[in-house]
Structure 1
């Protein structure tokens, strides 16, 4: 899965790295070291009129266009799209065919899912963990508490920004609705590679720069690129410990990248 990621690159670095066309006037993009679902984040898609790549803000958690009320839709069920069923479920099949985007980032986080591996000391009472304030209580099972589990970050060896495979949806209000238009996205996930598997059994789909054009080409009759939905090469990634307090969405500073 992919439930948190971070972006330290500014708008200029992202525009250069992904060959984005002209940025919108007044567009600002401060770094965010703890990106969580339901927040608005930059994605890259193809401008249908100019054919250039454009950077636009969308909310993480895809809302299908046919939904009557986006506020009542449970977006936490659509933050990720499983590659294995992307053609089987209508909610994913449509966007995969005609609404693909790149999700720029500098790295993603994952919590250790293997209780048999070494664990850090438990959180002290009052520390913020994955579920906010946590009390120190005896554990009845071998599985550690979410807030005490190690958090790892996964990035490129040179620290450069990269892109995940994304799907998006453009929700537009029905007649009589006062709700503003809403653009949303989801991140495609696949099975883990050798690097991520000891931590979690799934990972987001990372795209090679050579495949960006093909992924973004969602406006003609070319077959959707199902072959790109595969695990990224382990040797092309770097894994290091991150701050376990990244589980609390209020912790958004650069210290989230350092182990604690």
Structure 2
């Protein structure tokens, strides 16, 4: 799964990595992104790709419960189930996205002494996590809200010692096929064992309330 991650990049970095167009947005490095907060996503437009902001936790257009009463955990979707699951089925067909990330967290050890691991691309580049998006309207406030989820798959052999699931990572040559929905399940594979690296970080990140603007959260500890 992926329940916490980071987005630390400049506009030039994400623009070049994702082949984006449009004016430079005001980006802020974030080191402790939690579900239900806003995240950057890349989605396809009629002429190009754009960087948009979405609530992390997908809500389908037909969902009728007001946001303040919604308790769903839809920040991840299992790629094996998403094409047929009512919560994600429509988005799988027509509303694909990429979630750019500089890294993500997973934990090992007992619940009373969880050890956080920060996982990044071995080459230091951006990670491109496969995702789905949905435009949803709150029935109470009538506010239109862009929402998104990150797709997961079975862990690679390398990842399995940390967790039995991992995000689906896309390569640049797969971006068009994914975003256009010309490809699907065949892209939902574990990352190669040489693709990622990890180090243990401070247990301060065990709390979702740790400041998301604190770069020391991703620093290695012995």
TM over 0.5, yes or no?
yes
Give me the TM-score of the superposition, normalised by structure 2. 0.92
Paired position in structure 2 for 1:240: 199
Given candidates 103, 120, 138, the residue that maps to 1:155 is 120
Correspondences of 1:122-161 after superposition (within 5 Å): 143-145=110-112, 148-161=113-126
> Where do 5+ consecutive residues of structure 1 fail to align?
116-142
Paired position in structure 2 for 1:16: 16
Whole-angstrom distance in 2 between the partners of 1:68 and 1:23: 35
Whole-angstrom distance in 2 between the partners of 1:151 and 1:259: 10
> Where do 5+ consecutive residues of structure 2 fail to align?
none
Question: Shift in Å at residue 159 of structure 1?
Answer: 1.4
C-alpha contact (below 8 Å) 2:66/2:138 kept by paired residues: no
Whose strand proportion is higher, 1 or 2?
A: 2
Whole-angstrom distance in 1 between the partners of 2:9 and 2:177: 24
Cα deviation digits, residues 25-48 of structure 1 (max 9, x gap): xx2111001111011111000113
Paired position in structure 2 for 1:81: 77
Question: Shift in Å at residue 154 of structure 1?
Answer: 1.3
The 3 A distance-change label for structure 1 pair 173 and 144 is: closer
C-alpha contact (below 8 Å) 1:190/1:205 kept by paired residues: yes
Q: Alignment partner of 1:182: what SS?
A: strand
Paired position in structure 2 for 1:184: 147
The higher radius of gyration belongs to 1
Alignment RMSD (CA, Å)? 1.6
Whole-angstrom distance in 1 between the partners of 2:156 and 2:173: 20
After the TM superposition, which segments of 4 or more aligned residues of structure 1 sit over 4 Å from their partners?
A: none
Whole-angstrom distance in 1 between the partners of 2:163 and 2:31: 21
Whole-angstrom distance in 1 between the partners of 2:173 and 2:45: 19
Given candidates 30, 33, 47, the residue that maps to 1:32 is 30
Given candidates 162, 165, 169, the residue that maps to 1:202 is 165
Q: Matched residue pairs, number?
A: 218
C-alpha contact (below 8 Å) 2:60/2:88 kept by paired residues: no
Task: Kindly indicate whether residue 175 of structure 2 is the aligned counterpart of residue 212 of structure 1.
Answer: yes
